[in-house]
Amino acid sequence: MHILVIDGQGGGIGKQLVEEIRKALPEVSITAVGTNSIATSAMIKAGADNGATGENAVIVGCRSADIIAGPMGIVIADSLLGEITPAMAAAVGQSPALRILLPVNRCKNSIIGIADMDIATMIKKAVEEIKKTAQN
């Protein structure tokens, strides 16, 4: 099982995802891809097996992932304050991987019909979904 965690800005959501996935599923392979080096570094420090930065790393990583996890913005071009390029959003959206997306209502994207949860609760629910998939 290969999990790709994508995040940008400071990498806070990705860092928390990596930490919790590592605790719940220590045997899985986790690759962290940041839209910038700060995000990548935070996720590597959190326990990712591999890390890379930038547009091409997202595109390549999406080809081999079984699960892609990150904030909802990773499928929306120009989100995360412009860090997600159209090519990145397309790569995530076109990947055959299961996408576990955290509905963070920021950057002029508001997901209607989703309960308002704090990041820790969203991370917990995301990891539960990843565990279900990984154990099948």
Q: What is the pLDDT of residues 115-134, one digit of tens each?
A: 778 888 888 989 999 998 88
- Say how far apart CA 108 and CA 105 lie, in whole Å: 7
What pLDDT is recorded for position 115? 74
What pLDDT is recorded for position 53? 98
What pLDDT is recorded for position 52? 98
What pLDDT is recorded for position 39? 97
Whole-model pTM: value is 0.92
How many residues are given for the chain?
136
Q: What is the mean pLDDT of each run of 10 residues along the chain (136 residues)?
A: 95 96 96 97 97 98 97 92 95 97 73 78 90 84
- Say how far apart CA 81 and CA 63 lie, in whole Å: 25
CB 75 within 8 A of CB 89: yes
What pLDDT is recorded for position 35? 96
What pLDDT is recorded for position 107? 61
Q: How many CB atoms lie within 10 A of CB 127?
A: 21
What pLDDT is recorded for position 32? 98
